[in-house]
Amino acid sequence: MADTSGLRPSVPLMGVEEEYFLVDPRTREVVPYGDEVAAKAAEELGDLVSRELGRYQVETKTPPCGTFGELHGELRRLRTVVAAAAESLGARAAAIGTVPFGAPVPMPVTDDPRCAKQLRDYRGLVDEHVICAAHVHVGVPDRDRAVLVSNHLRPWLPHLIALSANSPFFCGRDTGYASWRHTMWQRWPVSGPPPYFSSYDAYEQLLTALTDSGTLPDRRTLFWDIRPSSRYPTVEVRAADVPVTAEESALLALLVRALTVTALRAVERGDPGPELSAELLRAACWRAARDGLRGERMDPRTGRLSPADGLVPSLLHHIGPALEETGDRETVVALLRRLAACGTGADRQRAVHARRGSLLDVVDALVTRSPAVGLR
């Protein structure tokens, strides 16, 4: 149960889902132990841990949390239990967006009717879906407002992609991207930034057409970077690579919550959100996935380029009042400074690789850091 004693009534709860790879400690290649690790971890975590589409992975989900401290503690606990379960079965858990090396394709799929249907429908996309993400849920009053909140969140997707980038290597090579996972994800139907919606009815009409046409197998399987949850009274942001540390995942959730609070206040004023060019927004997300916090960023409203070091100040300016409202300003500013000093997960992976040119070292560093306290 979330501790809400220190929260104002207007501050929504938040939760995080994380996906982890399972790797062989000797070869450092992924291993298909998802069923076994999920079952072992469930002895302690219950339904907070589950299997994923691919057998190389497991997924955890925190309960709803009210504060950074509570969420960070839950994330650390989940990671620690999963890591111990993996070790007991001769594997290791790693929080990383893509597989650095090896030949993981075709990916073995979990024995489940829903997973089998996805394999039948999406075929080669499932074979190559060897990626791990983090999804943030933030409470909203209803689905009508969730859809309008999505409109307001769309321009900030490039910021979240850049800050969370943690997948530069794939199958033995540096892809040149900070988030290759996000780039791979764009191949799926109904993926990437969601459309602008005038209302929840408009959202429902499109979702019905997509499911009736067989493009989506069901109403739960919607791949956009932002969506109203089909199971919870939340808006779900799905744009991030799984971060290296629990601390970074908790920071991501604070940022998404502040963006959501900012959006809710705008919706309450009657603002349905900006109607951005879909192509400019996709281009800005692509650039963020390629460059992370390096180089230049693209404004999805105008298409203009500016130095990437302006990304964090622009985000803080936008969510500043919401951070005051949630009581998270000092924590967020401190963690963003630490992230700027340490670099994104992609930056840190490349720094490890640069020392000896070894992708084995990269995997070892990720396995070591994944259950740990935070950035350093």
The tens digit of pLDDT for each residue in 310-329 reads: 999 999 999 999 999 999 99
What count of residues does the chain have? 376
Q: How many angstroms separate the CA atoms of 276 and 323, rounded?
A: 25
Give pLDDT, residue 232: 83
Q: Which of 106, 120, 134 is nearest to 217 (CA)?
A: 120
Bridge partners for 228 per DSSP: 235
Give pLDDT, residue 48: 99
Q: How does pLDDT run across 21-76, given as a tens digit for each residue? A: 999 999 999 999 999 999 999 999 999 999 999 999 999 999 999 999 999 999 99
Give pLDDT, residue 105: 86
Q: How many angstroms separate the CA atoms of 171 and 161, rounded?
A: 21
The ranges of the chain with pLDDT < 70 are 1-9, 372-376
Q: Which of 154, 82, 155, 125 is nearest to 370 (CA)?
A: 82
Give pLDDT, residue 370: 72
Query: Which stretches within 46-112 are classed as H helix?
Result: 68-88
Domain borders along the chain are: 14-369
Bridge partners for 59 per DSSP: 19, 50
Give pLDDT, residue 5: 45
Give pLDDT, residue 4: 45
Q: How does pLDDT run across 282-300, given as a tens digit for each residue? A: 999 999 999 999 999 999 9
**Is CATH 3.90.1150.10 what the domain over 14-369 is classified as, yes or no?**
no
Give pLDDT, residue 372: 59
- Please give the radius of gyration of the chain, using alpha carbons only, rounded to the nearest integer: 19
Q: How many angstroms separate the CA atoms of 138 and 204, rounded?
A: 20
Rounded to two decimals, what is the model's pTM?
A: 0.96
